[in-house]
Each structure stands twice: as structure tokens, then as C-alpha cells.
A and B are shown apart, each in its own frame.
Chain A
Amino acid sequence: MEIGQELIRVENVSKTFPGVKALNNVNLTVRAGEIHALVGENGAGKSTLIKVLTGAHQMDSGGSMYLEGKETHISNPAEAKALGIGAVYQDVMMAPHLSVGENFFLGKLPYKNGVIQWKKVYQVTEETLKSLNIDVDPRSKVRDLTVGLQEMVSIAKIIHEHAKVIIFDEPTALLATEEVGILFNLIRDLKLKGCGIIYISHRMEEIFELCDTVTVLKDGGYVDTVAVNTVDENILISMMVGRKLEEMYSIKHAPPSDIALEVRNLTRNKVFEDISFAVRKGEILGFYGLVGSGRTEIMRCITGADKFDKGEILIDGSNVKIHNPKSSIKKGIAFLTEDRKHQGLGMNLSIATNINLASYDKISRSGIINLKKEKARAEHFRNEISIKTPSIQQRISNLSGGNQQKVVVAKWLACQSDIFIFDEPTVGVDVGAKVEIYHLVEELLHKGAAIIMVSSYLPEVMGLADRILVMSEGRMIGLVGREEFEKDGHMDEERLVRMASGIV
């Protein structure tokens, strides 16, 4: 494949789901030897576009796709694969109990007289791995490899399948720093081999380090395609968000009053140590750190989801014992988990049930629920924080991400919580819903709630928090006040990133 030659081009791609236009006239061209970044907020349509390219979704009529200049129609994932379009997903798609070699040949193991030719399987796999400098025994089981190696192997598998266009969807999300370096080298290798790479990431620095071209999507629409070296981070972000960052995060801060929650010398062996902080009523305390820095684990200990080894927790000035989630809820702590689907909501239950989930005790007498109150409370919160739904009997799985998050908030409001811990509150919600969630936070703040906001998305923490606690590898690196990270109205992001990376 000649470098610079057009590999894949899509024009005017739209995709309509019942009630939502997920993509609206999007264009994308990827050339051989190009690393093409695809950026946009959550909900901008990146995943949908990828699914169209890989045949998982069909585009609406009116759009067209060209492979090496020839008009093509892809109607299912197998076709996409056969045409040389491969994708590496966040959660690696392999059979963990089988060997690397077997995964390479999954579904098409070579055989002779009904006997599988294992020798050939492992030989071919080994050759492919070697050509990419991946040091893995093809006989080892996939589940025995680190996440990083699993990802390398799945990339090798795609190469083995003769992919020309390779899509990376947040490939570094689960990787350690040194693994990221190895991955980047591998991607650059692929580039030299003449593959076209589509690279999706939320991490701006990766895009500037790795990519040649960037296409920006916003709310399902096409914004622009530009060369990476012609833009900087600020330009890119304002293209993605379509508004100035400061506006998005402009919430009214309340004057902080008494200390609501204080944590002293909290330690969970081998996870985090010696964490001390206090959060006041009417204050937002940001928790910033990279994935794996121990932020979520601290919150899980405070809320009784996990046990800690040392330290104490004080609420309203008095020492409390928290044994399990129930006792932390009784003390007024609300934990809005990062993973709504798996830890926050019963997806196939109704809104009404979910809102009351943590507080059925309050509306029942000797175990019998007062159904009138159940309904009344659900309606009350539906109006109070404007959950958009025709009925409180609607299943949660039918709501948008933003509305799901609102139901979680309602659940905790129903418990009369006054300390709110938000763990990555805006993951997986679109920009509009984000702003709504920020307003919700603002409202809580003015009701006198103490708020902890855990986020790995720096603009969000910096935009909202009164103070930011920076974590790195289980330790507190610093506590930075708003006046320190807000310089002449600008934010000193670099400093926080360096702190979080352990470079002070």
C-alpha cells in the first residue's frame, strides 16, 4: 500500500435511532500511513461512526462509503473484516480461557482429516507476533496476560487478519504508562507498514503525540478535519464543545460553612495511605488523579463499600464507625458510583423503584411499603430535578445517560443525604446532560450539601471544585485551592497533571 493513498472515505453518513439522530452528515477520509484522530465529547457520535465503519450499524440512505476509491456497502461485521477493517476495543474482545494462537484462529482453525493442525496455528501466530515485536508465547492463555499484552495480542490478531484500516477505541484507557509507550510504538509501526489508523481518545496529549490528522465531531454532527500540527489543545476543545469551557462550568459557588465530613489518616494497605481531608457544607472538593491512583477506592472505604485498615472518619465533628453501605447512608453519605449500569441502578427496574431503592425503610412500616408514598416521592423528585420521562414506571434502561444520572441523584436525595460523593459523574453523558448535571450539583451546593467530585477529566474538576486534592499512586500529593489553579481567569492544568503523574 502506497503511503498517502486513500484507504477509506465516508461521505454524508447519517444514522438515526428511534428518537435520536446519532450521526448527521459526517465525513471521514483515512489514508494509508496516516494516524487519524477522531475526537468529540461523549455522545458526539464517535462510537456510532465506528460501528457504521465496522458493519455493526447500517448508515441511513444518502451516505456513501468508498474503499480505496471504490464504492462499497458493508452490511455486517464479517464483511467489514473481510474488506480489511478491524477494530481494537476498550475491553479486549477475545476468549480469555483459550490460548493466544487459538484466539488468532477463532472460528477458522486449520485442520486436516478432521484434526486441528496446532503446529501451524502456533507457528503462524508466533510469526505475526514476532513481526510486531510482541514478546508473547502463542501457547499462553489470554487470561494469563496483562491487560496491556492482551491489547497487543488483539492488535496482532487484527494484523493477522490483514486489516488495512485499524480502529483504536480508547486503547490506553486501561494501560499503565510504560505499556502506553509500547502501544504507541506498535501503532507507529503499523503506520509505516501503510495501514490507516483511526484513533479515538479523550486524552488530548495522546492526540498531539501520536496523530497526524484530527476529525472533530459534536452532537452527532461533523465539525471539521484539520492537521494536528495546525491546532492546539484549546482550539480543539472549543471545536469539540462548541462553547468556551468557562461557560460550561460556570456555577455559582456558595459560601462554605461547617465541616461536614472529615477523614484522618485513612489507609487501606497497598491501595492508599494516610489520606486526610475535610469537606465543608456548601463546598465542592475535587479529587483528581489518574485511573488507578486510589481515588475511587478511598470513596468506597468512606461509604462502607470496602473496609479500611487505619484512620478515622468524622461527620459533623464526631467520630463515626462505618461498617457497610447502609451505615454510611444513615449518616447522610451518598455515593454516586462511576459505573451507573453495574453499581448505581437496577437497569430493568422502574424509575420509581430506583428512586426509592435506598430508602424503602422510610416509607414502610414493619416491612410493608406504602405504595402511595413510593409513587408520590418518585413524582416529587421527577419534578424537582426534571427527569425527562413520560412516566415514573418507565424502565431505567430506556432513559438517556443524563436522565439516568438524575435518577441516581434522586435516589440519594430521597435518603436525605447531605454529603454527596460523585465518582466520574459525567462519564457517558452528552454535553447537554453534562451541563444539567452541573446545575444539579450547583443546586445541591446551595442547599448546603458537601460535595466530593472525583474526576479524571481535568477541565471538569478545575471548572467546578473549590479545592482540588491531587492523588498519585495511592498517596495525597497536594491540596490546591481555587485561587492557585485559577490564574487570571486561566487554569494551570499543567501543574495538576504533573502532580498527578507524581512529578512535583
Chain B
Amino acid sequence: MLEKFMKNKTITKRKSLSTALLLVVVLALMFIALSISSPNFLSGKNISNLLRQTSINGVVALGMTMVIISAGIDLSVGSIVGFSGVLCATFMTKSGMSVPVAITLAVLLSTLVGVFNGIVIYDGKVPPFIATLGCNTALRGLIMLTTNARMIAGLPKTFTNFANSTFLGIPGLTMVWIILIVITALILKFTVFGRNNYAIGSNVEASRLSGINVRLTTYGVYTFSAFLCAIAGVMMTARLGNGVPTGGVGYETDAIASAVIGGASLAGAEGTIIGTVLGAIIMQTLRNGGNLMGINAFIMEVVIGLLIIGAVLLDKRRKK
């Protein structure tokens, strides 16, 4: 009996490790194939471009992973990204605030949307799917209404320059992503809040009876997701050089896809930050590589769609 146990010991650990390992192998193979077929792929310019493209979606995916681990879903991420982007653009131009103040205020206000999601989901007992779907639509409507669906131009150069800046050869946007990756991973591993996330994702009733504050954890996870979206919104606005009312549309699908390719389970309690990060890079590499090789972008979307399904199929098989 015990020997039997020894064989499949530390299942949790090995599983997440091998998911990450598998993704690294896939990514490495893609890099090899692409660098052979397209000499430009490994150029510093292209790689930094690839990272820049991944960074914004990547930030959103971090929060999404946390929400998915808690057995929830956040479909409002796209609108929060857009909301934050439009807010900070408005503050910088029409309100004439300084860049740091405008960013702080935009992030704060957008983060409140997450608190709202948390309240509707926990106190209103509305399923997360519906609550955040409704929030997504309503918030997008609000953005369109207040901006008249017009772009907000005339952002300060000090702000937009950030999107093209590099630190130690790494794009500034990617630097932000990396910092947030580390923070989110640390939260999940080292904090009570992070653990509680897995706990409520695994069994909410057992968690409650164990004295875990399910309300605060639920608020916390949606608020954190909104916070990351808010930052992503600022990053996006800097990159686009304008406040764009349609900015962030459809971001939820990429974020969910990254998490799922990275091994997160929509049933909760499963998922890692490293997996999600790799998932995001793999998706973007496919797009980037397809682009370099002159493959029709729509074909690449078909491939990515199949990849998402394939990743889950594979995961299910491996778990058996």
C-alpha cells in the first residue's frame, strides 16, 4: 500500500512542475522552428517587440489566473482595461493632472470595479460568469457614453515614451509585467490570501467552516484582478499613444486562454503563475511567428483556438 503511494508521491508538485516543463519544451521547439524558418525571429528587435506585445495581455492574465484558481471567472477584464485607459488619458489631457497623479487616480478608480464585482458575486450570490459579463457590457457602455466613442489624443510625451523605453535592454512594459509576475506569484505562494484562494477554489464550504473569510477573499481576488487590469489599461494607453474607447475589447479570451494553456482548471484550485506566463508567451509567439512567416493572421487564430482545446485535452489525459 505504502509503496504504491510512494510511486505517485507529491502529485500536486510534480503535476505543476511537469506542466511548466512541458510548456517550456513547447516554447523552445517553437523558437527553434521559427528561428530556422525566419532569420528575423531571433533578432533583438523582434524579441523585444514580442515581449512588448505579450506584456499587456500578460498582466491581465495574471489576475485572471488568480480568479480562476478561486473557481471564479472575470469576464469584465477587457472593459476595466479600457476604462482605466480612457480615465488616465482624460485626467492627463482634459483635467490637466500630472502623469503620476493621473495614473494613480485612474488605477484606483478602475480597481473599484473589482470591489463591485466581488460584492455582486459574494453578497448578491450572482454567478461570477454572469456578474462579470454584465459588468463588462455596462462598463463598456459607460466608456462609450462618456467619450462619445472618440479617441482621446494629446497625451504628454513623457507618458507615451514609456511604452518604447527599455531598461537593461528589456522593454519598460515588459519590466512592469515581470514585476507583477513576481508579485502575483509571491502572493499565491507566500500569503494567507493566496492560500485561501486555492482553498475556496477547492472547497468553499470547507473553507468557510475552517474560519476562512470567504467574503474578503472573494472581494480580494476580483479587486486584485481589476487592479492588474487597471495597470494594463495604463500600459495600453501609453503604447497606443491615445485613450482608446474600444481598448481592451476581447482581452478576457486571451487572459483565460493563457491561464488554461498554463494548466489552470476552471473548476478551481489549479493553476500557476509560471504556467500562465508561458501560456501567454506561447500564444503571442504563434501570432508573431505567423506574422513573420507571412501566414494569414486568421489561420493563426484557428491554430491558437485549437491549441487552447488541445492543451485542456492533454491536461485531462495526463491527469487520468
Contact = CB atoms under 8 A, between A and B. Distances in A.
A346 B269 contact: yes
Contacts of B192: 360-361, 364, 367-369
A364 B208 CA distance: 19
Interface string A353-366: 10011101100100
B198 A325 contact: no
A133 B41 CA distance: 76
Contacts of B210: 325, 329, 357-358, 411
Q: Is the interface of B mostly helix, strand, loop or mixed?
A: helix
A467 B181 CA distance: 57
Interface size class of B (residues with CB under 8 A): 20 to 34
A235 interface: no
A369 B190 contact: yes
A388 B5 CA distance: 10
Contacts of A326: 211-213
Contact of B209 (A344, A353, A369, A391): A344
Contacts of A411: 210
B253 interface: no
Nearest to B8: A398
Interface centre among B4, B8, B12, B211 (most CB of A within 10 A): B211
A19 B202 CA distance: 26
A368 B203 contact: no
Interface residues of A, number: 43
B206 A329 contact: no
Contacts of A394: 5, 9-12
A390 B5 contact: yes
A395 B15 CA distance: 11
Interface string B186-226: 00011111011011001101111111110000000000000
Given A369-B191, A395-B11, A346 B5 contact: no
Given A305-B209, A349-B269, A357-B207, A371 B9 contact: no
A214 to B, nearest CB: 30
B198 to A, nearest CB: 6
Interface in A299-325: 303, 305, 324-325
Contacts of B1: 19-20, 388
Contacts of B269: 346, 348-349
A342 B13 CA distance: 23
A19 B198 CA distance: 29
A345 interface: yes
Given A329-B210, A343-B209, A346-B206, A367 B193 contact: yes
Most buried by A among B6, B189, B206: B206
B252 to A, nearest CB: 25
A357 B212 contact: yes
B306 interface: no
B191 A391 contact: no
15 contacts: A325-B211, A329-B210, A342-B203, A344-B206, A345-B206, A349-B198, A357-B212, A360-B195, A367-B191, A368-B192, A369-B191, A371-B189, A371-B190, A393-B10, A393-B13
Given A20-B1, A348-B270, 11 more contacts: A303-B209, A337-B206, A343-B203, A346-B203, A347-B202, A358-B212, A368-B191, A369-B192, A394-B11, A394-B12, A398-B11
